[in-house]
């Protein structure tokens, strides 16, 4: 029997729950925790020993970092408050656990963080010959238009989720750079990615897990500029065969050294498919089973020490 | 003319219930997921509390990350 794998996240997350159940079907009981649940589970960590919930964790176990801490929209915790500093300290502990011992992670914590850098992703894609949309981040909207022209989209550099001054949760989708935004927006305060707008025929979601790769497609003409804004779009993805894109996606994941990736690509009206961004902790289970299941299988096999 | 922060300018309200409880609805769909390894910590603010004196300074290289 392999050592109990570590899953960092919460079983209220469908992705983690599904992986955990698949492991249990194999009579493997994972150890599941995040920066919040550690409090109740109890823990102790020394250079040569990790104990969670009273159980000593094998130094050679495998692990999957899904989410270090739950989302915290609208908690209202102030920066520097006791709640804030306590959470950050627990996050540091989870990071220490993720670096502890000789455990093999699907993607290590430091690799994962570095892989979330979107500009780095684009630079690597360009280096290996993958097409990408012309991109710039600038505090000056004039520089954006000079670099990209007048047909430009904006999206957050990292998370688009925030709480506004009235305490209401908000999100930012990919948005066209209109004259109004050009005139009134403060482009320096919060850096956004600007990209030349591409006339899109089809969105692709390419999911890699090791050398396992599956692609799903969404026809672009039925949905908003950012398909995420349409709830129904989540159910409209279909299996798509694109060996060339699949091979490039695997190459990109290998360059970033991530064991899993969820990648967004576009098929333009003209020209080759374009890489948009890669998420090393993204989602795949909303995709059709023919796309999602092989990826899930790969992760379960990895955590079971069968790959 | 006062310029408006792009989050303020482009943010749209999230109408789905239950999201703020943390994880139940958050990670089942793409729409409102932060999708990052450290969504909660990334969301936390920056160095508003930073002081010049060493005593009160944050020592972290990445204040909002790890």
ipTM: 0.86
Instruction: Please tell me whether residues A126 and A257 are part of one structural domain.
Output: yes
Which residue from A minimizes the CA distance to B27?
A13
Q: How far apart are CA A78 and CA A91, in angstroms?
A: 17
Shared domain check, A256 and A120: yes
Query: Does B36 sit within 8 Å of A170, measured CB to CB?
Result: no
Please tell me the predicted confidence (pLDDT) of residue B56.
43
CA-to-CA separations, A18 to A203, A283, A292, in angstroms, rounded? 26, 12, 11
| Residue A126 and residue A258 in one domain | yes
Residues A165 and A32 in one domain: no
Say if the Cβ atoms of B66 and A95 lie within 8 Å.
yes
Token output for A229: 């804004």
In a domain, A165, yes or no: yes
The last residue of a domain, from among A196, A217, A235: A196
At A287 the pLDDT is 94
Residues A252 and A121 in one domain: yes
The 10 Å Cβ neighbour count of residue A189 is: 14
A83 and A146 share one domain = no
CB–CB contact A113 B45 (8 Å): no
Q: In this structure, what DSSP letter does residue A305 have?
A: T
| CATH code (residue A209) | 3.30.470.20
Cα A275 from Cα A134, distance rounded (Å): 11
**Statement to judge: residues A167 and A47 lie in one domain:** no
Asked if A211 and A84 sit in the same domain, the reply is no
Domain membership of residue B46 as a residue range:
1-66
User: Is the pLDDT assigned to residue B22 strictly greater than 60?
Assistant: no
Give burial (CB, 10 Å; 0-12/13-18/19+) of A269: exposed
pLDDT of residue B64: 46
Q: CA nearest A76 in B: which residue?
A: B44
Residue A266 β-bridge partners? A203, A274
CB contacts of A63 in chain B (<8 Å) are none
CA distances from A299 to A266, B9, B25 (A): 26, 40, 22
Total domains, chain A:
3
Is A1 domain-assigned? Answer: no
Range of the domain at A261: 113-131+199-303
Distance in angstroms between the alpha carbons of the first and the last residue of chain B: 37
Cβ of B29 and A231 within 8 Å? yes
Indicate if A26 and A157 belong to the same structural domain: no
Q: For every one of its 307 residues, what pLDDT tens digit does chain A have, with 9 covering 90 and above?
A: 888 999 999 998 899 999 999 999 999 999 999 999 999 999 999 999 999 999 999 998 999 999 888 766 545 567 778 887 888 889 899 999 999 999 999 999 999 989 999 999 999 999 999 999 999 999 999 999 999 999 999 999 987 888 788 877 788 889 999 999 999 999 999 999 999 999 999 999 999 999 999 999 999 998 988 888 888 888 899 999 999 999 999 999 999 999 999 999 999 999 999 999 999 988 899 999 999 999 999 999 999 999 8
Contact at CB, B28 and A286, closer than 8 angstroms: yes
Instruction: Report if residue A159 sits inside a domain.
Output: yes
Same domain for A223 and A285?
yes
Q: What is the pLDDT of residue A232?
A: 85
* Structural domain count, chain B: 1
Choose the closest CB to B23 out of A10, A79, A170: A10
Same domain, A121 and A59: no
Q: How confident is the model at residue B45 (pLDDT cuts 50, 70, 90)?
A: very low
Minimum-distance CB partner of B7 among A68, A162, A183 = A162
Looking at the structure, do residues A248 and A161 belong to the same domain, yes or no? no
User: What is the model's pTM?
Assistant: 0.86
CB pairs under 8 A between A and B: 178
């Amino acid at each position: 029997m392999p050592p109990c794998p570590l899953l960092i996240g919460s079983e209220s997350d469908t992705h983690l729950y599904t992986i955990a159940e698949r492991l249990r079907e194999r009579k493997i009981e994972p150890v599941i925790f995040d920066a919040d649940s550690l409090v109740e589970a109890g823990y102790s960590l020394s250079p040569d020993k990790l104990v969670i919930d009273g159980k000593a964790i094998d130094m050679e176990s495998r692990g999957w970092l899904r989410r270090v801490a739950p989302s915290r929209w609208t908690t209202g915790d102030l920066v520097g408050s006791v709640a804030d500093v306590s959470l950050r300290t627990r996050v540091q502990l989870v990071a220490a656990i993720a670096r502890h011992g000789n455990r093999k992670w699907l993607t290590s914590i430091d690799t994962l963080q570095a892989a979330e850098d979107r500009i780095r992703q684009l630079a690597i894609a360009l280096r290996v010959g993958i097409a990408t949309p012309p991109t710039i981040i600038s505090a000056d909207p004039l520089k954006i238009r000079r670099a990209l022209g007048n047909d430009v989209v904006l999206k957050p550099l990292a998370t688009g989720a925030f709480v506004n001054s009235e305490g209401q949760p908000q999100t930012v989708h990919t948005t066209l750079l209109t004259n109004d935004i050009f005139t009134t927006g403060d482009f320096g305060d919060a850096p956004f990615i600007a990209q030349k707008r591409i006339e899109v025929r089809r969105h692709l979601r390419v999911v890699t897990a090791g050398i396992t790769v599956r692609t799903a497609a969404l026809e672009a003409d039925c949905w908003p500029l950012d398909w995420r804004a349409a709830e129904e779009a989540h159910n409209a993805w279909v299996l798509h065969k694109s060996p060339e894109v699949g091979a490039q996606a695997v190459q990109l994941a290998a360059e970033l050294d991530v064991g899993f990736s969820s990648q967004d690509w576009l098929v333009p009206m003209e020209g080759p498919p374009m890489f948009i961004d890669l998420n090393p902790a993204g989602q795949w289970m909303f995709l059709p089973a023919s796309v999602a299941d092989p990826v899930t299988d790969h992760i379960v096999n990895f955590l079971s020490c069968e790959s | 003319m006062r310029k408006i922060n792009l989050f303020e300018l482009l943010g749209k309200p999230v109408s789905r219930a239950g999201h703020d409880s943390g994880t139940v609805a958050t990670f089942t769909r793409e729409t409102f997921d932060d999708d990052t390894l450290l969504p909660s910590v990334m969301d936390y603010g920056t160095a508003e509390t930073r002081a010049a004196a060493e005593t009160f300074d944050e020592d972290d290289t990445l204040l909002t990350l790890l």
